[in-house]
Structure 1
Amino acid sequence: MLFKRPQHLRFEYIPRYYNPDKDEELKRKERMKRKLKFQRIGISERKRKSLLWWLIITGLVFYLYLMLSGMLK
């Protein structure tokens, strides 16, 4: 995309009548979601690095094959 798309404004709305127990439960769930999100980021980075290593190894094997078969001098 060429342009940055505007984001929705987010407000921290606190209702007048609320259940404090439920509020704590929601905050706990949000913390868990953030933890899982950070874990997913770490996993995707590891996958990307792993893919890079496999591509490098495959390229080296292919290069050695061509070199040993006599196609490259």
Structure 2
Amino acid sequence: MDTYFSRYPGVRKYMDRVKSEAKKIGYVETLYGRRLYLPEISTGNAIRRQAAERVAINAPVKALRPT
């Protein structure tokens, strides 16, 4: 993963920014304005928190997928 992130540093910045913002406001927003609330993003349970972080990172990107 280190090689990937060194080759594409913007990806790491995006991931860190999205996780930080989601923790602060409790949701992520797609480019179309849909909010996905993430109540587990601030939990003390590491497994649930990490799952919410993955959703936070993936949801805005997946929303761009054509149906």
Verify same fold: TM over 0.5: no
RCO (CA 8 Å, sep 6+): is it higher in 1 or 2? Answer: 2
Structure having the higher strand fraction is: 2
Give the number of the structure whose alpha-carbon radius of gyration is greater.
Answer: 1
